[in-house]
Chains A and B, each alone.
Chain A
Amino acid sequence: MLSLVEIEALSLSLKVALTATAVALPFAIAVAYWLAHSEFRGKILVDTLIHIPLVVPPVVVGYLLLITLAPTGGLGAWLANIGLSPAFKWQGAAIASGVMAFPLMVRSIRQAFEAEPTAYRDVAATLGVGGWTRFKRISLPLAYTGTLSGSVLGFARAIGEFGATITFAANIPGLTQTLPLALYSAAQAPGGEDAAARLALLCLIPALLSLAASEWLSRRAKQRREERP
């Protein structure tokens, strides 16, 4: 069955991906709502910046994180001073995964916010309901399924993260070696074929489950929109 290293990699992967999703989620909701409901100068620029992790090689993202947050960098030096340096720790892997998952989450959640009928916004305005109350009582409950779907998608992305993680957090067994990193090491090592196959399977299962769940949720959201009176 699974070796100790593999079990460690699995539990670390789950911890890293769950943390990454949970921390990224409030930011993703805020940015998605902002982009869906406001028009402002520079919106395209903000939109582009958020989507960068989707299109550049993940190693570039890892490198950018490294020069910003490593103990030698400005912000990193300050974090290291107060004992919170994330580089080469599981928290670092979570940051790298979170950054990579962020644009996917924003896209999915934003779609849900944009699907809110304008009639609801108009009615809310004429009732004098705006700002936080409108977000909390109307928009977010309506976008609930889309938000959940975005989170699951983000989790799937985070659990499969490789390039940014290995660059920023390194590949330290038991510390930062998540499933994809363990698979990489196993594939490099002589006679590691069996371990690599098992690890590949372990990578595939949560990814497939998450994708299926995300798809099911967005279908349900669409169905509910159509059923609405």
Chain B
Amino acid sequence: MTSQQQPSAHLDIRWQMGNVAASATFDILPGVTALIGPSGAGKTTLARIFAGLNTTATGCISLFGQTLLDSQSGKFVPASKRQVGFVMQDPALFPTLTVADNIALGSAMTATEHAELHEITGTGHLLSRMPASLSGGEARRVAIVRAMAAKPRLLILDEPMNGLDPKRRREIMQLIRRLAHSSNTPVLLITHQLEEMLFAADHAVLVDKGHIQITGSVEQVLSAPKTAELLGVDDAGSLVNATISGREDTLLVANIGGDLLYIADDNEPLGADMRLRILARDIALSPTHLEGISVLNQLEAEITSIERRPNDALIRLSLIKSGQRLESRITLKSCKGMNLKVGSNVYCLIKAVAVKELISDRVI
């Protein structure tokens, strides 16, 4: 799917990182792209080069067909003319201006658009406050709103969730997705946390020591061995896109392309699109449908591959109805005992409480 999308931006740049000659070539696609890598990988420098704040790089950068940098012809569009929004780790709200003035300063929005933006971001009640009186989470949100109000053609968020508690992080991640999708502004999200990539991004670019390691969809980058090596992915698992199709007792029914999955109710409205993560260790396998057990989710799947590892076996599965891919981690003993074979059908047993709801795309 991603390969058919027209890139919003293209980078082909080189710069110096201490003694290391760093380089990066990649496209930024519509939606949210995570630029992920360990600390010191060169993520922030790369983003500052893109925004025009770091002027030491050579190569070319284009955004929606417009050349921002072409060191061969000597073209360089300054930061103030790029229309690239940049929210730094430090929200850097201007301390002598109210929140409203901070937002209005570079705004290209009409009053109606402002009202809409405040509604989406829940910042309307902060307008008369001074930056010093805001909490960390509020300051981040205002910084994001301020950047969006300037109607950037692309928005860069540099570790916007650093130092926030889990609840605030989740709020910011939901906000990022909502903004990216409601405004059609491509977002480059810089992060060193896998969780943030999983929550918020559609595409990912893995960077380390000033070089791009992998680019692709979040699923592709997540499953790459290099990602595990750099970011310590401890658990294999699957990302599942689902729609809420019903509510039973205290559970939600999530529809994954025909397969129904019960998950814990998180006050999601019917029809909401969600992204779920199901870890391989949370899926047990059974040769038959079992009656009278506590596990509610029993989905029939075909085994597509079996990877025997020193301590366990990773079984890759494809759900019969939807074709959705899942992974299950079981012991070698079970694998042998059940006589699992590629091509045979099994039931995936998934506890409703084990399914982690990552993100909801509902638009308020």
Interface residues of A (CB under 8 A from B): 117, 119-120, 122-130, 133, 137-138, 141-142, 144, 227-229
In the complex with contacts A126-B79, A127-B106, A229-B139, A120-B86 CB distance below 8 A: no
A227→B94 contact, CB < 8 A: no
Q: How large is the interface on B (under 10, 10 to 19, 20 to 34, 35 or more residues)?
A: 20 to 34
Chain B positions 60 through 81: 1 when the CB is less than 8 Å from some CB of chain A, otherwise 0? 0000000000000000001111
A180 → chain B, closest Cβ, in Å? 38
A125→B53 contact, CB < 8 A: yes
B94→A137 contact, CB < 8 A: yes
Chain B hits for A229, CB < 8 A = 91, 93, 95, 131-132, 134, 139
A228→B95 contact, CB < 8 A: yes
Chain B hits for A138, CB < 8 A = 94, 96-97, 105
Tell me, in angstroms, the Cα distance from A144 to B93 when the chains sit together. 17
Tell me, in angstroms, the Cα distance from A53 to B92 when the chains sit together. 38
Q: Does B116 contact A (CB under 8 A)?
A: no
Chain A hits for B150, CB < 8 A = 126-128
Q: Does B283 contact A (CB under 8 A)?
A: no
B95→A126 contact, CB < 8 A: no
Chain A hits for B146, CB < 8 A = 123, 127
- New A-B contacts (7) at CB < 8 Å, excluding given A125-B78, A138-B97: A123-B86, A125-B80, A129-B105, A137-B97, A138-B94, A138-B105, A229-B139
B96→A126 contact, CB < 8 A: no
User: Would you mind naming 13 contact pairs between A and B with Cβ atoms under 8 Å apart?
Assistant: A119-B90, A119-B92, A122-B86, A124-B106, A125-B53, A127-B85, A127-B147, A128-B150, A138-B97, A141-B96, A142-B94, A229-B91, A229-B93
Tell me, in angstroms, the Cα distance from A138 to B97 when the chains sit together. 8
Complex partner residue of A129 from B80, B91, B95, B139, CB under 8 angstroms? B80
Select from chain B the residue with minimum beta-carbon distance to A119.
B92
Chain B positions 245 through 280: 1 when the CB is less than 8 Å from some CB of chain A, otherwise 0? 000000000000000000000000000000000000
Select from chain B the residue with minimum beta-carbon distance to A123.
B92
Interface SS of A by simple majority: helix
Q: Does B51 contact A (CB under 8 A)?
A: yes
Interface residues of B (CB under 8 A from A): 51-53, 78-86, 88, 90-97, 101, 105-106, 108, 131-132, 134, 139, 146-147, 150, 152
Tell me, in angstroms, the Cα distance from A133 to B79 when the chains sit together. 16
Complex partner residue of B132 from A125, A133, A228, CB under 8 angstroms? A228
| Most interface-central of A137, A141, A142 (chain B CB within 10 A) | A137
B84→A126 contact, CB < 8 A: yes
A122→B88 contact, CB < 8 A: yes
B132→A227 contact, CB < 8 A: yes
Tell me, in angstroms, the Cα distance from A126 to B154 when the chains sit together. 11
Select from chain A the residue with minimum beta-carbon distance to B136.
A229
Chain B hits for A120, CB < 8 A = 92, 94
| Most interface-central of A127, A128, A227 (chain B CB within 10 A) | A127
B149 → chain A, closest Cβ, in Å? 8
A128→B147 contact, CB < 8 A: no
Tell me, in angstroms, the Cα distance from A130 to B105 when the chains sit together. 10
Chain B hits for A117, CB < 8 A = 92
Chain A hits for B106, CB < 8 A = 124, 127-129
Tell me, in angstroms, the Cα distance from A124 to B52 when the chains sit together. 12
Tell me, in angstroms, the Cα distance from A119 to B139 when the chains sit together. 15
